[in-house]
Structure 1
């Protein structure tokens, strides 16, 4: 499948809709205090850049990069539409985000994801790209429902 990954300004609402369904899904797998997916107001944060992957104009998935500091970023909102699972969408979005981190001269990117079985595909992908476990960062706290990962750039 041929898809295009590019920066997205969220104006058409498709990423917001996908992330709202993602948020509801997270509440099925984690207690509310352990859900760190971006809520609607958080998506307006100017330190966050979004990317969309589209196939024939249809949103296949998305991801975001939040600037933590001049040398560090956080990967957020990685989500693939159910219609496009296991087709390389997340991999393509992650590669674009990592390229942007390099362009920004970040020395490290970090992320938080769930620690239970439904998150295994995401964790597997991140490990394939060299992410390793790390301590909580930014405003996160130690949480048995969270896994924190880091990659040096």
Structure 2
């Protein structure tokens, strides 16, 4: 397998990123009720306070992740996705480690996330648990939702 390159994508103009994110949103809409889809689209990812990374094997986009600034010490992990054909190969773990290191470097001491409670999201919940995330209550602007599973960890 080629070397994984992770880089900050400031403008999100690459059409491959748009296609990748639309697949992500389509999955979220397919498995979650409309009011429980909290994935960010391209416009939301371009907002101030959000950093977005892409991961590539050569010219192939294989993963994405974003970091949303909540306050001076707290950030939220958003838009974590690995290409379906490459899941289970450690790409998500590398992407998560990268975003956690970036969050620390930015001065954050806590990283939280929202993911689904449905079986589709079980691998994601297991990944986050392996990396020290624990279940928590809603944070930021979230409200309690039976379709959401909230997790957090100290950095």
TM value normalised by structure 2: 0.94
Structure 1: runs of 5 or more not aligned: none
Deviation (angstroms), 1:40: 3.0
Structure 2: runs of 5 or more not aligned: none
1:103 and 2:98 are equivalent in the alignment = no
- The answer for the alignment partner of 2:115 in structure 1 is 113
CA distance in structure 1 between the aligned counterparts of 2:15 and 2:67, rounded to whole angstroms: 18
Partner SS state of residue 27, structure 1: helix
CA distance in structure 2 between the aligned counterparts of 1:5 and 1:126, rounded to whole angstroms: 19
CA distance in structure 2 between the aligned counterparts of 1:99 and 1:40, rounded to whole angstroms: 24
Partner SS state of residue 79, structure 2: strand
CA contact (8 A) 2:50 2:66 kept: yes
Aligned pairs, number: 153
Q: Which aligned pairs between 1:69-148 and structure 2 lie closer than 5 A? A: 69-148=71-150
CA distance in structure 1 between the aligned counterparts of 2:82 and 2:133, rounded to whole angstroms: 19
Partner SS state of residue 39, structure 2: coil
TM value normalised by structure 1: 0.96
Partner SS state of residue 77, structure 2: strand
After TM superposition, where is structure 1 displaced by more than 6 Å over at least 4 residues in a row?
none
CA-based RMSD: 1.0
